[in-house]
Structure 1
């Protein structure tokens, strides 16, 4: 427990992620985790009420985290875990209040028996009468125990429980009579009894108080941990009970309209299905049109490429023919030029021969 308390103190000083490595992922805070004290999140932890008193419950084994408590408070009011935490808190606190109420009853019985003990000590006849009652009660208790044992053996659990409850009541009455008969007091005990007659039981925490005591001592008692702790417990029980009733009323209202809500949700789902089918049909139509457009574009592209190749071949043929005609014309020009040169050469040669002949 000391280690746990030290760890909680370090968490408060350094944060809950004090041991997380730099490259390690930090766990997200969730008030539903089992490590957090559900009583602390609802109101307060009863373990913190009676520290260092006779009613000390010891340290709490869960973590008290203010951030988790804030997340709990901010959660939806009708959250099932939130309602469960409140009911658990209410049961635990109610059991503590029931225990102190039994303590108060026993304290009052103790004070009431003081006067009866005095009467029994000074009245032997009354003591003898009480002993007769005790003997009768012992016989009756033994009979009831046998009947309860027989009922339990036969499987009548409820009958056995009822008989044992009656048996416990008779035992309490028998013990009360025994306390009266054992009250043969000496002078010292008589003085103590007289003093007890001047005492009363606190209706909140069950402590014994002296009637007419000094105001300072009364104030010290009222400001003490036990008295204030049980006062806080009773107030919290009332508040949480009202909260639980409110939440249950809200949930009843929700359940009341569940059928209408379900029908409306069913109609809404049908509408969504129809819309989904329409969207699917439109989507398929768009995809079909897109495929058709794509095929058309591909066909047109192939046609353009084919036309381009045809036009390219025609141009090539035309250019080839042009170049061929151009070469033919070049050959003809060169041929004419060569013939002209041959003609001039023959003429010049013939003229020179005639001139030599004349000479």
Structure 2
């Protein structure tokens, strides 16, 4: 990334063709080349908005050239130019959706922090009375357990079971009193913390946490910060380009209706003109449908070409792996044959030596 940033800086200082030879023919810039940043040609590059912030996208790997941007703006409307605009809007919409989710999570977090426990806190007298009741219940439970043990040793099972049930009920009552005392203590702690903390809010543009009623200098610093300004610029550009695209579509539809009305008035109206208008509308619809189909077919062909490349690459890798496996199997088979022949020769030699020894 550092090398790329240095190269971009040198291009700005010395020109894009700083490394070309004097006799070498310089290629004219073309905005359709893949080396240029599409987002910068359309409006601006989002990578330049959040430098050294938490939302930093890093250095853009593409080239930012003002001359090429002018060529893009002067170029006539085409499918590729519209595709560049659509990609820019899609990227802006993705980033805006991310920050909207961040804002929603921040609001939920503040609601959870500001939520209070149920029930008011207990007074000092209520706390002392609660402690006395807990102590009495503990003594009763202890005495009941002793009586149940004595009844069990005497063999009176029914009395022992009844005493244990009564003991369980007293234990539940004691647990409820202890829980009430703990909730009261938690409520007092939360109220004290809420009184000491400052009230917060979430910025509706960038999702940062702000202090309600903070000093004006800190508010101005936040509003002029890179992250806030970047998201504001992103939202503004997205809304303006969407509105412009909708107005352009409405203007095309209005001109089409005016052309139909003029043609109808010039031909005098009647059933024949209505039929011709319907036929013209159908032809326009078919032409628009053919254009959309061509665009879809073009994108489908590009995707199919990419898939073919991936399949060719994977099949080539598979063939190479199969060749390697086959070579390894052939080597292992050759080694086995060589060992088998060697074993046979050694067995023949042993049999010959034994026969010579007998003779």
TM-score, normalised with respect to structure 2: 0.50
In terms of Rg, which structure is larger?
A: 1
TM-score, normalised with respect to structure 1: 0.50
